[in-house]
C-alpha cells in the first residue's frame, strides 16, 4: 500500500481526507510542519509516495516546509500537493511556482478530484 504524508492542523479536514483515501492508501497524519519534517528526516524514515501539505499551518507554513523538503537531496523528488482554502487562480499559480506539483482547494468537496490528483502525482 502506498504511503501519503498528510500535514494538516485542522482535525476535521485531516479526518475527512483519511476517511476518504484510507482504504486505498496508508495515511500518516501530522498536525504541524515540524513533526512532519522530523519524521521525514529520521535516519530510517519511511519515505512517502506523496505529500499533502496544508498551507496555513501553525509555526512553519506549508510553503516553508516544502522549501526545506526540496533542499534535502533525499526528499526533493517526493511529489507534493498544496491543500489550501486560498482558491484564487493566482493562488494556484503561486503554489505551483513555489514548487508544489499540484493544488487542491479546501474544503475537499470532490472526492474523485482528490483521488485523481493523488493518482496523477504518484504515477509520475
Instruction: Measure the CA–CA gap between 57 and 84, rounded to whole angstroms.
Output: 10
- H/E element holding 91? helix 89-97
pLDDT at 46: 82
Q: Are 56 and 49 in contact (CB under 8 A)?
A: no
Whole-angstrom distance, CA of residue 106 vs CA of residue 115: 14
Closest CA to 75 of 118, 32, 46: 46
Could you report the per-residue pLDDT of 27-51, keeping only the tens digit for each? 999 999 999 999 999 878 789 999 9
Residue written as grid cell 507534493: 80
Please identify every stretch of the chain with a pLDDT value under 50, giving residue numbers as ranges: none
Go through the domains of the chain in sequence order and give each one's CATH number: 49-109 (3.40.50.2300)
Distance CA 84, CA 104 (A): 7
Q: How far apart are CA 80 and CA 60, in angstroms?
A: 16
Helix (H, G, I), strand (E, B) or coil at 25: coil
All three cell numbers of 53: 501539505
Helix (H) or strand (E) segment spanning residue 38:
helix 33-41
State the pLDDT at residue 16: 96
Q: Which pLDDT score, from 0 to 100, does residue 37 have?
A: 95
Amino acid at each position: 500500500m502506498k504511503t501519503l504524508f498528510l500535514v494538516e492542523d485542522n482535525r476535521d479536514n485531516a479526518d475527512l481526507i483519511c476517511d476518504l483515501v484510507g482504504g486505498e492508501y496508508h495515511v500518516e497524519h501530522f498536525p504541524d510542519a515540524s513533526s512532519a519534517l522530523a519524521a521525514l528526516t529520521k535516519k530510517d524514515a519511511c519515505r512517502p509516495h506523496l505529500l499533502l501539505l496544508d498551507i496555513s499551518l501553525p509555526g512553519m507554513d506549508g510553503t516553508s516546509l516544502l522549501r526545506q523538503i526540496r533542499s534535502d537531496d533525499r526528499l526533493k523528488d517526493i511529489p507534493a500537493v498544496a491543500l489550501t482554502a486560498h482558491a484564487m487562480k493566482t493562488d494556484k499559480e503561486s503554489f505551483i511556482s513555489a514548487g508544489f506539483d499540484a493544488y487542491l482547494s479546501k474544503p475537499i468537496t470532490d472526492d474523485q478530484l482528490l483521488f485523481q490528483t493523488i493518482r496523477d502525482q504518484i504515477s509520475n
